[in-house]
Amino acid sequence: MSGSSNNSGNSGNASDKKPYSFGGINDFNLEEIENEVLNDSVYLDVFAGSDVRFKESIEPMTSGLADVLAINTYKYNYKTKEFSDKNFPEERQHGVMAQELEKVAPIAVATDESGYKYVNYARLAPMLIESIKELNELVEKQAKRIEELEKKLK
C-alpha cells in the first residue's frame, strides 16, 4: 500500500497538522497504518497508480451492480476485549464480512499471517461507480418509457 503522510503529533487537532504536501510516496504495511491512524498521529492520503500509461489488458467493467447486490452489509461491534491488541474502536460499526466479500471481490480482501482477513474498502470504489452507472442507465430507460406511455395517454 502506498501513501503520503505527514506526522502531526498525538493531539489529533486539524490545526496541529502540518500542511499537506504531495512530495513523495511511502510504503506502509497494514499494521503501521492501523497503529498510526488509530493513534490519530498521522494524516494519510492513499493514492493508487492510475495513469493509463501504467496499465495494460484494459477492459471495461460490466457487472458492477450484480456484484454489489451480492454483498451483504452489517452493523456490528468489535470484540475489543478479546482483540485488545488490535485497538478496534468501541462504537458500533457498519461494514461487510471479509469472508463473504472475498467470494465477490477477492481483490478487496487480504489475509494476514495468522489467517485473519481485512477489507480494503477503497478497492470497492470501481464496482460502486459501475453500479451507479448501471442504475442511471436503467432510470433513463424507465424515464423514456414513462414519457412514451404518457404521450399515448394524451
Domain boundaries, the chain: 2-54, 64-153
Q: Check: CB of residue 2 under 8 Å from CB of residue 47.
A: yes
* Residue-wise burial string across 73-89, b where 16 or more C-beta atoms lie within 10 A, e elsewhere: eeeeeeeeeeeeeeebe
How far apart are alpha carbons 8 and 28 in whole angstroms? 17
Q: DSSP secondary-structure letter at 29?
A: -
CA angle 9/30/93 to nearest 5° reads 85
From the list 45, 61, 43, the residue with the least C-alpha distance to 107 is: 61
User: Cell numbers at residue 117, please?
Assistant: 482477513
What does the pLDDT read at residue 22?
46
Amino acid, res. 63 = S
What are the residue ranges of helices labelled H in the chain?
30-38, 64-69, 98-104, 125-153
Q: Is the pLDDT of residue 134 over 70?
A: yes
Using an 8 Å Cβ cutoff, are 38 and 87 in contact?
A: yes
| Separation of CA 101 from chain center | 12
Q: Is the pLDDT score of 82 beyond 60?
A: yes
Q: What is the pTM of this model?
A: 0.65
Give the tens place of pLDDT for each residue, 24-70: 556 666 677 666 666 655 555 667 778 899 889 999 887 789 999 99
CA distance to 49, 122, 129, per residue, from 125 (Å): 15, 6, 6
Q: In the predicted model, what is the mean pLDDT of the chain?
A: 81
